[in-house]
Amino acid sequence: GESVGLHLPTLSVQEGDNSIINCAYSNSASDYFIWYKQESGKGPQFIIDIRSNMDKRQGQRVTVLLNKTVKHLSLQIAATQPGDSAVYFCAEKIAGGTSYGKLTFGQGTILTVHP
């Protein structure tokens, strides 16, 4: 039968606003997390990562927060620009062991920035 597409969460913001994108991860054993941005027709682009021994990490205009208690990640984008419009994915990984480099991705969030 037909496959049903994922209904991705969407976030619409005005240019200059701050954006917060949330992600619930699945495996309490995951110890490394990455946020990716994917624009139409392109592969995922690395934005920022965080290890499980941290709860916050800042980059240029972006901040990632990790709450291991509730298995929650968030990506904050400051002063959002139209060029930030894309699908954002969180990914989790278990370093070492038999999982090796396998990344498990969230479903993604569509961010639309209006000028």
Look-up: residue for tokens 């139209």? 82
Cβ closer to other proteins: 42 or 83? 42
Q: Six-digit token pair at 36?
A: 């990716």
Phi, psi of 105 (to 5 degrees): -95, 150
Q: Which of 74, 104, 110, 112 binds other proteins (CB under 8 A)?
A: 104
List 11, 65, 103, 110, residue binding other proteins (CB under 8 A)? 103
Q: Is 44 a residue that touches other proteins (CB under 8 A)?
A: yes
Instruction: For residue 46, state whether it binds other proteins (rule: CB under 8 A).
Output: yes
Per CB under 8 A, the segment of 16-24, 57-65, 75-83, 100-108 that binds other proteins is 100-108
Q: Is the dihedral of CA 25, 29, 35, 37 positive or negative?
A: negative
| For other proteins, the closer CB: 18 or 107 | 107
- The residues that bridge with 114 in the sheet, in sequence order, are 14
Total interface residues for other proteins by CB under 8 A = 33
Beta bridge partners of residue 91, listed in sequence order: 34, 105
